[in-house]
Structure 1
Amino acid sequence: MQEYVRGQIASGAYANLSEVVRAGLRLLMEKDGARQFYALKADLERAVADVEAGHFEPFDAYAFEPEAFERQG
């Protein structure tokens, strides 16, 4: 790994070790973000499939948040 980093710096791709580390951390952060996105997408696809199969209960907005329906006086 050290040789790779030295090569990246020598090639001019990065000015120093700190830049190489920051670039690596950015990639890890992007990968984690993508992983979270695909997990959410899979959850949503399962939820849609459940609804399409008729596995749901009607949503009662009043029961969920009755204060939203109270008149402001």
Structure 2
Amino acid sequence: MNFKEAPILAGTAGGTLASTLPNIGTEHLITTCILALVGATVSFVMTLILKKLLAILKQFRLFLFTKSKRKN
């Protein structure tokens, strides 16, 4: 992309945005915000759960490894 095409791309993107904004209703905007909030919350909680699970599995693996070394 060269710099001569940048204003054309910006104008096209701005025109597309300007033509779609009036068609978005308040209900759709609120629904989208709620769904984004729920999705972000679920993602954050799942990340915490998976980190905790991974830490437990690492400890369990280390426990099994040291236990098998003691038998030998």
Shorter-chain TM-score tier: 0.5 to 0.7
Structure-1 separation of matches of 2:34 and 2:51? 26
Could you list the structure 1 runs, at least 4 aligned residues long, displaced by more than 6 angstroms after superposition: none
Tell me which residue corresponds to 1:22. 31
Larger RCO: Structure 1 or Structure 2 (Cα < 8 Å, ≥ 6 residues apart)?
1
Cα deviation for residue 22 of structure 1 reads 0.9
Query: Normalization by structure 1: what TM-score?
Result: 0.54
- Aligned CA RMSD, in angstroms, stands at 1.9
Tell me which residue corresponds to 1:37. 46
Unaligned runs of 5+ in 1: 1-6, 56-73
Instruction: Number of aligned residue pairs: give it.
Output: 46
Q: What is the percentage of aligned positions where both structures have the same residue?
A: 4
**Higher relative helix content:** 2
Tell me which residue corresponds to 2:13. none
Unaligned runs of 5+ in 2: 1-17, 65-72
